[in-house]
């Protein structure tokens, strides 16, 4: 069976298949929210996207840099 089509990389995260485009979209949304509010909670983001806090931090720092405006909980 074909898991995914296109050039996107597919990763298994917490039992789910997720593309790098999905992570890119999350980072773009988080970046937008950061510009609007100036600060976000990692815990709230993790709950919003159904990912672990470690994964959220990894996705964000890889795509938009350091997590200076993102609080631990």
- Would you say the C-alpha torsion 66, 16, 21, 38 has a positive or negative sign? negative
Residue with tokens 């996207």: 49
Q: Is residue 63 over pLDDT 90?
A: no
Q: Which pair of tokens denotes residue 47?
A: 């709950």
Model confidence pLDDT, tens digit, residues 14-45: 788 888 899 999 999 999 998 899 889 999 99
pLDDT at position 6, please?
53
Global pTM reads 0.72
CB of 50 closer than 8 Å to CB of 22: no
């Amino acid at each position: 069976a074909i898991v995914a089509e296109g050039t996107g990389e597919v990763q298994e995260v917490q039992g789910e298949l997720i593309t790098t485009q999905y992570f890119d979209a999350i980072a773009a949304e988080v970046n937008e929210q950061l510009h609007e509010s100036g600060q976000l909670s990692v815990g709230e983001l993790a709950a919003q996207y159904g990912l672990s806090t470690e994964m959220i931090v990894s996705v964000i720092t890889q795509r938009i840099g350091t997590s200076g405006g993102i609080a631990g909980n």
